[in-house]
Structure 1
Amino acid sequence: MNLTRAARVAIVGGGIGGLVCARVLQLHGRSVTVFEREPAFDARPQGGTLDLHPDTGQAALRAADLLDRFHALSRPEGQEWRAVEHTTAAALEHEWPPGDEGAGEEDRPEIDRGHLRGLLLDSLAPGTVRWGHAVGKALPLLDGSCRLVFADGTTEDFDLVVGADGAWSRVRAAVSEALPGYTGVTFVETGFDDSDVRHPDLARLVGPGTLVAKSGSTMLFAQRNSNGHIRAYVAFRAPLDWHTAAGLDLDDAAAIRTYLSQRLDGWAEGLRYAVLDGDHDFVHRPLFALPVPHVWEHVPGVTLLGDAAHLMPPLGVGANHALLDGTDLAQALIREERVDDAVRAYEELMLPRSSELAKQCAEGLENLVP
């Protein structure tokens, strides 16, 4: 019988869901190791901005005793939302963040993903994260434990392996044959540095939060990050190989710019600028999602959280629920006497919740980019 108090717990993936799970376990004196394939925290860009919801992301950080530190880093003004008409950039809808009189239940402050990940990493005991440890697969064993097989061929056994390793999880195969499928929507991303000084017209148009514009199956998002950085995305429906069919090389920035310029023909100049005049190369981001619903029969010794469990379109809920998954699993491991009972309790809570959420996100993407 694997008891939770002395359990050997491995979390595969050092994203925010896995890290918050590790943090809550350590707060309660439990042992945990996080395996991350990247060699260091700053090995790659950390992504854009996240709005953390009171009943999910913020609730998770409260359980991790990190909510005050989150608020010190967050940007409440980033909640502002501006929708504009695509040919004139005239305002269609404008939502302000709640003021002092409205702050509380509806507050969804923004935070850069890198800042949130850094906050979680700093909260862990030294040595918790083993960098540069790529996992090849997880093998459930007959005694209810699980063996991690690393990319270098070495192995290590644990009472519980948690797959928190994202969309293309190597752990997922231990419980499910499902693979992410292309949603039919792709994003092309660029960015603007020091926008208030170098791109003042765009900075004023975007404001402190998010700007959106839409025409048919093409949508533009521009989001303020910290330090004056703006990330801009154009989203559209297209085959996965749209660039090949159009005769484009994704590394040819001039050709991609010409294609996007044609796609945005007739759009307001300020909106075209947000896509065509960035300081960074274009990044191709096709959207993938797991089947809806994605569920599995319980397998002793292994479970999933975050995108590994319920990859869905990025409509503002995935990161929040990854954080909630992490704290729910950690709290089940603290509450239950046996590891298997804890994992069953967690999956009975998480799987129905994530299935309904994934359904809503799939429908939301259809409406957003028809």
Structure 2
Amino acid sequence: MDILSISFPSVFENTFGNTESSAKDLLNGLKIKKDEAWYIVGNLAKKGGISPYKITNASPAEEDFDVLFRSALINLTDKIEQPMALTVGFPFSTYNVYKNAAEQFLKKRHFMVEYDTKTFNTLGVIKRSMFDLDTYDVIPEIVGCIIGLKKLLNEKAPVNFMAISLGFGTIEGGMASEDGLIHRTCFSSHGIQYAIDNLNRELNKTHYLNMQNVHQLDDAMMKASIFVDRKKVDLKDVRKNILKQYYKQIITPLLRKFFSNQDFETCEKIYLMGGGAFYPELVDAFKEEFNDSIPVEIAPEPEKLASIGYLYNSLRISDRNYKRSVGLDIGNATTVISTFQSNVAQPLQSTSVEAGTLPIQ
């Protein structure tokens, strides 16, 4: 069964004036209306906005979640059958607080989205589409990552492993065993934004950054360069130092606090996932600490794993209806939507998950 995962940056901004012919397609030309205001979202906001933003770890009751949720929905047109089965998730640090709010949001079940297609089509118009929700679930992000990892690895998945998601807003971690998730080992703390904030402080000592926000600095961090006063500033050395300190000050204490010697003894592999897995400095730091005893690997599709795991959870709650299942990960840096793209259903691996428990097998 093929999986299609599409994504856009989790940023948006109020827009005024003309935005016609500013993108190549819907995904890159997201412009939606909420209440009486229009918003440009994702890549269109990054390119056409002044200071596109998203509140880190925003509640489902806030505008940020609503705008990004509706922007994700319009990308599902012609990809699924309705009413859909949907799964979303949150980091452990906010899961218990936000789960009820998310369920209240999804209980609406009917979502009308008004959007502008003139951003990518010269003959475009204002459209309104209705999306209907049948079943839904809200699960922890790390559980989604583990489900996604096990499904992608299939029979190659080890029995006992550590999953560490290096996200923008949070770092998530936990250990999976043959019996399920070991909750004692689960943690959630400061994500890559911690390092980006330090980058901001360091650059402000010598440069005027023209009020760039944390999401714009995130792009600079990833590219390891930034333009200031029309000159390119190399960030490789400062990025290396900042990420080294991030590992030492945030990650190392978490590993020592939540994982015992017995956990390390039984652990067959450490999988790194999330957008932070693309930073070689962080991967090298893990390998330097563990490679003598535990192999460290970047998980397949590291930035998509949560969404893929949510998708398989949606398949479970929809009685295995591939055509209606959706996994939606509204991340702090990126929103990822996953769907199945084949008409030929294949049997899933059997699980022993009881009703009401979190499936990670």
Q: Would the TM-score normalized by the shorter structure come out above 0.5?
A: no
Into which bin does the TM-score normalised by the smaller protein fall? under 0.3
- TM-score, L = length of structure 2: 0.27
